[in-house]
C-alpha cells in the first residue's frame, strides 16, 4: 500500500506531466500523447487528490472548481497598466520615431519590437514563487477586477511556472484575452439556436466571457490569451522586449504571432505593411500593430505622458467604412455648455457594430464639409471604435437635402448661444441650463467619479424634473421618503439608492476631482494632481503657475483648476459637501518628489510585502528602481538577497535594512511637513 509521501510524490509527478502536455496541446498545437492517454492520467490525478486531500494550487483539476461569485473584488496594479497612443499613418509613425530620438538624443537607428495588436480584453497575471496567484482586468489602469477563477479556466494559461531554471519571486504579466473568429462564430450560432442574443464582435464576446460571475460559464467559451508585457517583477533580469518574449515562451505563456525586432522606423513601416497584408488570414481579430522601444532601460528613460507611455504606440489599420444617410442633425448640450452637432443616421452595420449616431465635432466642421440633412455619407469607425463622418457624397444629392445652421439659442433652455473668439465651440451661457445641470450630475455619479450605483441618466432626469436636485451637491441631501413618491421607486429600490449615495461620500481625492467635470481634467490628470497635493484644501485659491513643475499638466488644465478653485462659491459648495459627510482620502499622494530625489532598489525578503515598501518610499518622495546602477543611492536588502546585493557592493551603493529604512522614512516625513508649509506659503498661494 502506498504511503502518504508516495501518493504526494505521484501527484507532484502527474501535475508536472499534465501541465507540460497541456502546454503542448493548447499552445504549441503539438501533442505528444492521445486524448485517451491524457484523460487516463487526469483521472488518476483526480482519484489520488480525492484519496489524499493533497491538491496543488497548480493542479489542472483546479482550473474549474470555484463557486459562482456574488461580485468581482477590486485589485490594485502594482505598476499602472497604461493605454497606448494611436497613430493612423506612416507619417505619424515617423514623427513618433523623431520624437523619441529628440527626447533621448539617440545615435543611429532605434530598435523596435513589432507585433499585431490583439482586439480583446487587457489582463494582468500575477505569479508568486512560480504559482498563478491572481489575475485582474485592466480596469482604469490602476485598479482592476479580480478574475482569477475565470482566468484559471483558460487551458493556455499555466497555473505554474516552477519548471523554469530561475523562478521569479513575483512577476506581473500583461496580456490580452481574446476569442478566435471561428470560435466566436460558433458561439453565436449556439446562442441563436437557444434564442439568445448574439455578441456583436469577438472582443465583446471575450470581455463578456471573462467577466462571468460563474467560472464554469467562462470555461465553456474557447478563450485564448496572448502575453506581451510585464509590470512589476523581481529576482529575474529582463533587459529588452525580446528578452521578455523569450522568457514568456520558456514560461509556457502564449506570445503574439509575428513578433519581431527591427532597427529603424523604415523597417518598422515595412513590418507594419507585412502584418497588414496577413491580417485577413489571422485566426483572431486585430485592428492594428503595436510598436515598442525594444530596450527596457530606454523605456524607463522615456517614461509616460498623462495616460500613455512615450516609448510605445499603436498603429491602427484603415478603419471599416460604410455608406448611410443622415436622417437629422440635432444639437446636443454637454455639461460644460458646449453645443455639439450630432448626426442621426439610418442604422448601418460597420465592423460588427450597428451605428446610428455620429458626432460632427463642431458647427464649423458642418459648414466646412457642407453636411446636410438627407445627405448620403461615408461613415467609418476610426480605429475600429469611434463613429466618424469621412465624406459627403455630394454627387448623390437629389436637391431635397436641407442646410443646417448653428442654433442661436440653446435647444434645451432657450438661452442665447455664444462662441468665444479663441474657440470653435458654441456654448450655452446659462449655467442653470437643465441639460448642463443634468449632465454634470450624471457625470458626478458616474463610475469613474463618485461611482453611485443605480444613478443613471434616466434617474437623474426624473429627480431633476421633480425638483429634487438642481446641483450635484443636492444628491447628498436626498431622503428615502422623497424617492418613494416617484414612479418606479419602492421602499427597497429607494433604500438601495440612498445607501449607494451614502457609501459614495467616502471617496478619494482623485475621484472627487474627476466628479467635478472640469474642462480638460480627466481620470489620469486627476490622479496626477492627487499625487502632488495631499488634501483638497491645498487646491483652494491655487494659481495656474503652481502646476509648471508637473510636466504632464497642460496650460488648459491648469487654468481650468485655477478658475474653479478660485471661485468662493465653488469652495463654499465643497465645504457644504464636507459638512454633509463627504470624506476624502488620498492613496495617490506621493509626497513632494523632486527631480533629484534619491533612488532605492529593493531586494530579498522583508517583514512586509515589497509592494507596501515601494508605496511607502514613493509617498515619502523617493524613486524606486528595479535594477542597481551607478545612480542608485540605497539598496534595501532583506533575507535571501541575490545578485542585486553583489552588484551594489561592486558599485559602492549604500546597503541598508528594513529598520534603517523606517528611520529614513520618519526623517523624510518630518522634512516633508516643513516643506509642505513652505510650499503653501511661497508657491501655491498669492
Q: What is the pLDDT of residues 632-665, one digit of tens each?
A: 889 999 887 877 888 888 888 899 988 888 888 7
Percent of the chain with pLDDT over 90: 40
Overall fold of domain 434-504: DNA polymerase; domain 1 (1.10.150)
Instruction: Please give, one letter per residue, the 3-state secondary structure of 618-652.
Output: HHCCCEEECCCCCCCCEEEECECCCHHHHHHHHHC
**What is the grid cell recorded at 513?**
476631482
Give residue 175's pLDDT: 97
pLDDT at 1: 55
pLDDT above 80: residue 309: yes
Residue among 2, 71, 98, 117 flagged as catalytic: 117
Strand 111-118 with 339-350, pairing: unpaired
3-class SS of residue 234: strand
Q: By C-alpha distance, which of 117, 149, 131 is closest to 56?
A: 131
The domain 4-62: what is its CATH number? 1.10.287.610
Q: Which residues of 294-365 form beta strands (DSSP E)?
A: 312-316, 321-333, 339-350, 353-359
Task: Say how far apart CA 117 and CA 313 lie, in whole Å.
Answer: 10
User: Domain 508-585 adopts which CATH fold?
Assistant: DNA polymerase; domain 1 (1.10.150)
Least confident of 132-136, 229-233, 501-505, 609-613: 609-613
- Side-chain half-sphere of 481: how many Cα atoms within 13 Å? 0
CATH of domain 321-418: 2.40.50.140
Q: Do residues 533 and 590 make contact, with C-beta atoms less than 8 angstroms apart?
A: no
Mean pLDDT for the chain overall: 85
Task: Convert the pLDDT of each residue in 121-180 to its tens digit.
Answer: 999 999 999 999 999 999 878 889 999 999 999 989 999 999 999 999 999 999 999 999
Q: Which fold has domain 599-684?
A: Rossmann fold (3.40.50)
Looking at residue 23, its pLDDT comes to: 77
Task: Record the cell numbers describing residue 6, joined without a space.
Answer: 508516495
Which residues make beta-bridge pairs with 230? 173
Question: Do the domains spanning 85-316 and 599-684 agree at the CATH topology level?
Answer: no
Length of the chain as a residue count: 686
Per-residue pLDDT at 260 exceeds 90: yes
Could you give the CA distance from residue 267 to residue 55 in angstroms, rounded to a whole number? 50
The single residue listed with the C-alpha cell 441639460 is 435
Ramachandran angles phi, psi of 160, nearest 5°: -145, 145
The residue extents of the domains of the chain are 4-62, 85-316, 321-418, 434-504, 508-585, 599-684
* Residue 46 reports pLDDT greater than 50: yes
Q: Model's pTM, two decimal places?
A: 0.58
Domain over 85-316 is classified CATH 3.40.718.10: no
Residue 117 known to be catalytic: yes
Helix (H), strand (E) at residue 76: strand 74-76
Task: For the chain, state the CA radius of gyration.
Answer: 28
Amino acid at each position: 500500500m502506498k504511503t502518504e509521501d508516495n501518493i504526494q510524490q505521484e501527484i507532484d509527478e502527474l501535475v508536472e506531466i499534465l501541465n507540460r502536455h497541456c502546454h503542448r496541446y493548447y499552445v504549441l498545437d503539438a501533442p505528444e500523447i492521445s486524448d485517451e492517454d491524457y484523460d487516463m492520467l487526469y483521472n488518476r490525478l483526480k482519484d489520488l487528490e480525492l484519496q489524499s486531500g493533497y491538491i496543488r494550487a497548480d493542479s489542472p483539476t483546479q482550473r474549474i472548481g470555484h463557486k459562482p461569485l456574488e461580485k468581482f473584488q477590486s485589485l490594485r496594479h502594482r505598476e499602472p497598466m497604461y493605454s497606448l497612443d494611436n497613430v493612423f499613418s506612416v507619417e505619424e509613425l515617423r514623427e513618433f520615431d523623431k520624437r523619441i530620438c529628440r527626447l533621448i538624443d539617440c545615435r543611429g537607428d532605434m530598435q523596435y519590437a513589432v507585433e499585431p495588436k490583439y482586439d480583446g480584453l487587457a489582463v494582468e497575471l500575477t505569479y508568486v514563487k512560480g504559482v498563478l496567484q491572481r489575475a485582474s482586468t485592466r480596469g482604469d489602469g490602476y485598479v482592476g477586477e479580480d478574475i482569477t477563477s475565470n482566468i484559471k479556466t483558460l487551458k493556455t494559461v499555466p497555473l505554474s511556472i516552477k519548471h523554469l531554471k530561475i523562478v521569479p519571486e513575483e512577476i506581473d504579466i500583461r496580456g490580452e484575452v481574446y476569442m478566435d473568429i471561428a470560435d466566436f462564430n460558433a458561439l453565436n450560432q449556439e446562442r441563436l439556436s437557444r434564442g439568445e442574443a448574439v455578441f456583436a464582435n469577438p472582443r465583446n464576446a471575450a470581455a463578456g466571457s471573462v467577466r462571468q460571475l460563474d467560472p464554469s460559464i467562462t470555461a465553456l467559451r474557447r478563450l485564448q490569451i496572448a502575453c506581451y508585457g510585464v509590470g512589476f517583477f523581481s529576482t529575474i533580469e529582463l533587459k529588452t522586449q525580446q528578452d521578455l518574449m523569450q522568457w514568456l515562451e520558456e514560461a509556457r505563456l502564449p506570445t503574439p504571432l509575428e513578433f519581431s525586432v527591427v532597427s529603424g522606423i523604415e523597417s518598422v513601416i515595412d513590418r507594419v505593411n507585412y502584418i497588414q497584408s496577413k491580417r485577413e488570414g489571422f485566426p483572431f481579430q486585430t485592428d492594428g500593430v503595436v510598436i515598442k522601444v525594444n530596450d527596457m532601460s530606454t523605456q524607463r528613460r522615456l517614461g509616460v505622458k498623462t495616460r500613455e507611455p512615450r516609448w510605445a504606440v499603436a498603429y491602427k489599420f484603415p478603419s471599416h467604412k460604410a455608406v448611410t444617410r443622415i436622417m437629422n442633425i440635432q444639437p446636443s448640450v454637454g455639461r460644460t455648455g458646449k453645443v455639439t452637432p450630432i448626426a442621426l443616421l439610418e442604422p448601418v452595420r460597420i465592423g460588427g457594430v450597428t451605428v446610428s449616431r455620429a458626432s460632427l465635432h463642431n458647427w464649423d466642421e458642418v459648414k466646412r464639409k457642407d453636411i446636410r440633412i438627407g445627405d448620403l455619407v461615408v461613415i467609418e469607425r476610426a480605429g475600429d471604435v469611434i463613429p466618424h463622418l469621412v465624406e459627403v457624397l455630394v454627387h448623390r444629392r437629389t436637391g431635397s437635402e436641407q442646410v443646417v445652421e448653428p442654433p442661436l439659442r440653446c435647444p434645451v433652455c432657450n438661452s442665447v448661444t455664444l462662441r468665444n473668439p479663441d474657440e470653435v465651440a458654441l456654448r450655452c451661457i446659462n449655467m442653470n441650463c437643465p441639460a448642463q445641470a443634468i449632465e454634470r450630475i450624471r457625470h458626478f455619479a458616474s463610475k469613474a467619479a463618485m461611482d453611485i450605483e443605480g444613478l443613471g441618466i434616466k434617474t437623474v432626469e426624473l429627480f431633476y424634473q421633480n425638483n429634487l436636485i438642481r446641483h450635484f451637491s443636492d444628491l447628498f441631501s436626498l431622503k428615502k421618503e422623497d424617492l418613494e413618491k416617484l414612479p418606479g421607486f419602492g421602499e427597497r429600490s429607494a433604500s438601495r439608492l440612498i445607501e449607494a449615495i451614502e457609501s459614495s461620500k467616502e471617496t478619494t481625492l482623485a475621484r472627487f476631482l474627476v466628479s467635478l467635470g472640469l474642462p480638460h481634467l480627466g481620470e489620469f490628470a486627476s490622479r496626477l494632481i492627487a499625487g502632488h497635493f495631499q488634501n483638497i484644501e491645498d487646491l483652494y485659491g491655487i494659481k495656474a503657475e503652481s502646476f509648471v513643475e508637473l510636466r504632464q499638466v497642460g496650460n488648459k488644465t491648469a487654468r481650468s483648476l485655477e478658475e474653479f478653485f478660485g471661485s468662493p462659491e465653488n469652495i463654499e459648495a465643497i465645504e457644504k459637501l464636507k459638512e454633509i459627510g463627504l470624506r476624502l482620502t488620498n492613496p495617490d499622494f506621493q509626497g513632494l518628489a523632486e527631480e533629484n530625489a534619491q533612488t532605492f532598489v529593493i531586494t530579498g525578503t522583508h517583514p512586509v510585502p515589497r509592494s507596501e515598501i515601494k508605496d511607502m518610499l514613493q509617498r515619502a518622495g523617493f524613486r524606486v528602481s528595479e535594477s542597481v546602477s551607478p545612480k542608485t543611492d540605497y539598496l534595501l536588502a532583506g533575507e535571501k538577497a541575490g545578485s542585486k546585493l553583489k552588484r551594489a557592493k561592486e558599485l559602492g551603493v549604500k546597503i541598508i535594512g528594513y529598520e534603517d529604512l523606517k528611520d529614513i522614512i520618519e526623517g523624510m516625513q518630518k522634512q516633508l511637513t516643513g516643506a509642505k508649509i513652505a510650499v503653501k506659503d511661497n508657491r501655491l498661494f498669492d
